[in-house]
Structure 1
Amino acid sequence: MSQRFIDEYQNVHIQDKVLGQGGQGVVFRTKDPDLAIKLVTDEGGNPVTDEESVERYSKRFKRVRRLPIPVGINIALPAVVLKNNAGYVMQLLSEMVPFSNFWLDGKSAEKIGPDDIPRWLSAMPEHEAKSIVHYYRTGGLRRRLHALYKCASLLARLHGNGMVYGDISPNNIFISEGLDDSVVWLIDADNIRFEITAGGSVVYTPKYGAPELVQGKDGGRPSSDCHAFAVVAFYLLSLIHPFVGKKVDGTDEGDWADEGNDGEDIEDKAYAGLFPWVDDQDNDSNSSGSGLPRSLLLTEKLITLFEGTFGPGRTSPLLRPTIYHWPKALAQAADMTVTCPGCSMNYYYDFIHPETEGHNCPYCKTQRPQVLILESYRWNGADKPLNSPCWRYVREFLQGSELTIPRRVFDDFTMLDSDTVEMHISLSDKGILVKKSEQGKADLSVAVESSQQSDFQKIYSQMKIDWVTPDIQFWMFAHLKSPRLVKCMISGGGK
């Protein structure tokens, strides 16, 4: 029989499946699909039920509700506290799963049989091959980048209001279960507070805590959140922890006795930030060749952010990039990925395969599919030259497909509305159909000739463009906060 919990208003909640469990507590769904419960647990993993502790935690949870947390932010805050347990009820959308589902676990591995492992992975050890199959089955690089961008946006809004989340980990970040949706929520919000430089309880999840927290040198700041987020991001994208290199995984041929190993657990030292990170440009003593190749996963901007966080930022928190740098860099990266029709992996559209010297998949060598490439330029007037594109948006563009084009292509990037759909572009044997979205706010015009000086026709609802040649290009002019000229090209494939 499922356990029943009573909240402060005498409502009864019946326990359902566990969503996540950590050192501080357990989170599970209730029979109400949109409600979940967080239970505080002791060191032995048992629910805290003594009256004094329940009262202390209840005051803490109610204090979180009084914080100036931004309106409309996707954070599952304590709604009501429980009566006889240290815990609370929170809203959580149905059909959401934790970020930890992005990693292969036992249940996921059982669902991948020998016939599910493609030929291009056949030479790999079985577990590694299954990890990559699970990687693309759960949305691949593109979905991970987009999910991280949404998570970073939530943290940026918190930090902008002077607060620290405190315990970032894959079990506290949730995403829509369906691959076609990427709504992201933060749970376990009872650790949200204002910055604490000293004193107070230090909260972090093992493997993700910032070095200054693990070493007991600080009480938690926005920079601590930035470290934990970067660990989640690197681990999620590459499949390896940024500090588990050859010093930790047993591939280091050096003599530990010569390096002053005092018997302390090697992994603990790594997670405490006492070793260089695996891709340190100045110190390869803890490097790693494991995981997916970072050259296929990270743009120059993302490399810079990871290097700043795990390089100088490992020992000097003030040198870490702030969270405000992450959302745009992650969204830009996600928007430049294509999905291989051969193996379902994602990669960056401009990748040139060293063997074929063409646009082929780096994993299975399949030719890149036909894509639509949108290059967005700031428009400063007809007499001013165009600088480098301020945004690129690339997607597979096949017969019968319809693409939704987000606002960030046509305007300055903002965390609140960059995903808003401005227009739809579809392709058929009759041509290209450009259609304004119901949510769209931009004034849009289209010129079909290749010259920028062509006459632009305003789009009131939709417009059809004849597809004469496979390499057709057209221009769009958009005006929201600042004008944009968008070059639209179809590349690859055939009519």
Structure 2
Amino acid sequence: MDISGHTYVLTEKLGKGGQGVVWKTDNPKVLVKGFTAKDQAQRERWLEQIAWLMRQDLAALNIARPLALLRAPRAGYILELMDGLIPLTRLLESFAVDGVDGYLLRGGLARRVQLLMKLASTLSLLHSRGMAFGDLSPDNIYVSAETEHAELWLIDCDNISFESQPCRALYTPDYGAPELVRGQADFSTLTDIWSFAVIAYQLLTGNHPFKGDMVSSGEPALEAQALRGDLPWIGHSEDRSNATECGIALGTVATGKLTQLFALCFEQGLTEPTERPSMAYWLEALHQANERIVHCQACTSSYLFNRECSCSFCGTALAENFALFNEYHFIPPDQLPELDGNDSKDKGRLDKTGRFAVLQPDCKLMLRANIPSQWYSESLPPLLQLELSDDGLWIEPLQSKVAIQRESKINQVPRRMKLNAELRGASNAEFLLHVGDLAKPHLLWRFKW
């Protein structure tokens, strides 16, 4: 019974951690978290923490926060969570049991990237408010049970705290930052980032980043050393002593930018937590990876666009009817500096950003601005939408001015318009999509049609 007098029947234990246990109830949208420690002082501190947490503004975050305390003598609270969610642990276990087949059957790469984007967004927003989540692990991350969906929510948020006033540093084995495992630090945004990186690596590759062949085939003491940060991670740039051939190779499921972030976190960030890339950088890299996802029509898996233009899992060639969009920064001619020999002065300058996006038939592509280094809003507004269909390429402005250019001719796109399919391939001329005010520096997407 909660303090308002509502009663709940506990029906199924979902998980148990260091501080308590989470139950399903006879209401499919209500869970109960019970505190299990016997120490009275610890119990009172925990109740004070939950009461404080209930007063905090966690709006716009995918966090199932406490709604009401349980009536004494029980210690705990109720939380509301949408039905049809399961712990992320089950998704990780599916790879351990079924290997690559399980990976593909449960949404493949595309779904995993989408889940990580939502997790990175939630953590980045929380960090922007000066808060750390604390004990982040697959047990307190809940995701859609159905593979067609990619909902994600955080539960068991007992350890959320302002970074200037951290909670006691509990952690889940395998996911605690090395400084937590060694007892040398409290929770912080930097320990959250470590836990996120471990979860992301596991979700993408099926491997724990510090449990390579040396650890998995060695004495139990080696695992403890690895989690304390005394051994190299499995993808170390120089020390291959703990590498592994198990799981999926990182290069198959991660872009170069994501690979760099993992290396930065698990090498320099191993002993220097401030070197770990912020959640905003992870979010930017995940968004760019999502724009490169290709859906295979042969094995129904998804993979990153590659130079071979073939599926990384079955080898089937990508059909040639896709469209590829490369991003540039465009600087108008009148805003270029006066330099001798500047041959761009008459037509402006294009600076390639390295970002590109793939659009397949019967798919839609929403293009946004680059993620800023400080992520402070729930989502970046979509600037335009592209759709590739049998009758052509549809271009729809959303929250930005859009203009289309071919050679020297530029036309505004005030509303949804189409490049006809019969024009495709008629010439080698490229199209430029200007996104923003033509008179100012703006983003530009270059493509062939």
Cα distance in 2 for residues equivalent to 1:363 and 1:180:
20
Please say if residues 406 and 418 of structure 1, whose CA atoms lie closer than 8 Å, have aligned partners that are also in contact. Answer: no
Does 1:190 find its partner at 2:158?
A: yes
Shift of 1:302: 1.3
Q: Where does residue 60 of structure 1 map in the other structure?
A: 49
What residue number does 1:403 align with? 364
Q: Deviations over 1:404-442 (max 9, x none)?
A: 424347x869662237484251402x3333345xxx322
1:7 alignment partner AA: D
- The aligned residue for residue 116 of structure 2 is 148
Aligned ranges for residues 88-487 of structure 1 at < 5 Å? 88-105=77-94, 130-195=98-163, 201-250=168-217, 265-352=221-308, 359-369=309-319, 370-381=321-332, 383-389=347-353, 391-397=355-361, 401-408=362-369, 416-418=378-380, 420=382, 422-428=384-390, 430-436=391-397, 440-447=398-405, 449=406, 451=407, 453-460=408-415, 462-468=416-422, 470-471=424-425, 474-479=431-436, 483-487=442-446
SS in 2 for 1:367: coil
Match of 1:120 in 2: none
Q: 1:271 to 1:474 in 2, by over 3 A?
A: same
Distance 1:180 1:405 in 2: 19
1:61-92 residue CA offsets vs partner (Å, 9 max, x unmatched): 0111234x453222111111111422211122
Distance 1:185 1:301 in 2: 26
- Give secondary structure in 2 for the equivalent of 1:341: coil
Percentage of matched positions with identical amino acids: 29
Q: In the alignment, what sits opposite 2:67?
A: 79
**Change in CA separation of 1:422 and 1:11 when aligned onto 2, cut-off 3 Å:** farther
Amino acid at match of 1:218: A
| Residues 383, 399 of structure 2: 8 Å contact kept | no
Over the residues paired in the alignment, what is the CA RMSD in angstroms?
Answer: 2.9
SS of equivalent to 1:455: strand
Report the Cα offset of residue 13 of structure 1. 2.2
Partner of 1:259: none
SS at match of 2:209: coil
Q: TM-score, normalised by structure 2?
A: 0.85
Shift of the alpha carbon at 1:102? 2.1
Aligned to 2:344: none
Deviation readout 1:367-411 (Å, 9 max, x if unpaired): 1133232223223225322111363221322xxx141424347x8
Contact 2:403 2:410 in 1 (8 A): no
Amino acid at match of 2:328: Y
The amino acid that maps onto 1:484 is L
The question of whether the paired residues in 1 share the 8 Å contact of 2:381 and 2:399 is answered with no
**Inter-partner Cα distance in structure 1 for 2:89 and 2:153:** 13
- In structure 1, the residue corresponding to 2:409 is in which secondary structure? coil
Deviation track 1:203-239 (CA, whole Å, cap 9, x = no partner) reads 1111000111111111222211111111101111110
Count of aligned residue pairs for this structure pair: 427
CA distance in 2 between partners of 1:58 and 1:482 (Å): 53
Q: What's the secondary structure of 1:388's corresponding residue?
A: strand
**TM-score, with structure 1 as normaliser:** 0.78
- In 1, Cα distance between equivalents of 2:359 and 2:143: 22
CA distance in 2, matches of 1:329, 1:218: 28
Code of the aligned partner of 1:334: N
Secondary structure of the residue aligned to 1:456 is strand
Q: Distance in 2 between matches of 1:478 and 1:59?
A: 50
- Whichever residue aligns with residue 121 of structure 2, its letter is S
Q: Distance in 1 between matches of 2:187 and 2:205?
A: 27
Task: Give the whole-Å Cα distance in 2 for the aligned partners of 1:486 and 1:236.
Answer: 31
- Provide the C-alpha distance between the structure 2 equivalents of 1:136 and 1:299, rounded to a whole number of angstroms: 19
- What stretches of structure 1 of length at least 5 have no aligned partner? 1-5, 43-47, 110-126, 253-262, 353-358, 491-495
- Alignment CA distance shift 1:458-1:406 (3 Å): closer
Q: How far did 1:264 drift?
A: 6.2
- SS of the aligned residue for 1:468 comes to helix
State the AA in 1 paired with 2:78: V
Contact 1:173 1:184 in 2 (8 A): yes
Paired residues of 2:133 and 2:159 also in contact (CA < 8 A): yes
Q: Alpha-carbon deviation of 1:278?
A: 0.7
Contact (CA 8 Å) 1:37, 1:88: kept in 2 or not? yes
CA distance in structure 2 between the aligned counterparts of 1:349 and 1:205, rounded to whole angstroms: 35
After superposition, the C-alpha distances for 1:86-128 in whole angstroms (9 at most, x for unaligned) are: 22111222222322232234xxx9xxxxxxxxxxxxxxxxx77
Contact 2:360 2:388 in 1 (8 A): no
State how far apart, in whole Å, the 1-side matches of 2:80 and 2:184 are. Answer: 35
Are 1:27 and 2:22 counterparts?
A: yes
- CA drift of 1:52 comes to 6.8
The amino acid of 1:9's aligned partner reads S
Contact 1:379-1:485 within 8 A present in 2 as well: yes
Question: Structure 2: which 5+ residue stretches go unaligned?
Answer: 334-346
Residues 174 and 349 (structure 1 numbering): CA distance in 2 closer, same or farther, change over 3 Å?
A: same
Q: How does 1:11-22 map to 2 (within 5 A)?
A: 11-22=6-17
SS across alignment from 1:329 = helix
Output the CA distance in 2 between the equivalents of 1:185 and 1:299: 25
Partner secondary structure for residue 171 of structure 1: helix
Given that 1:378 and 1:390 are in contact with CA atoms closer than 8 Å, whether structure 2 keeps it comes out as: no
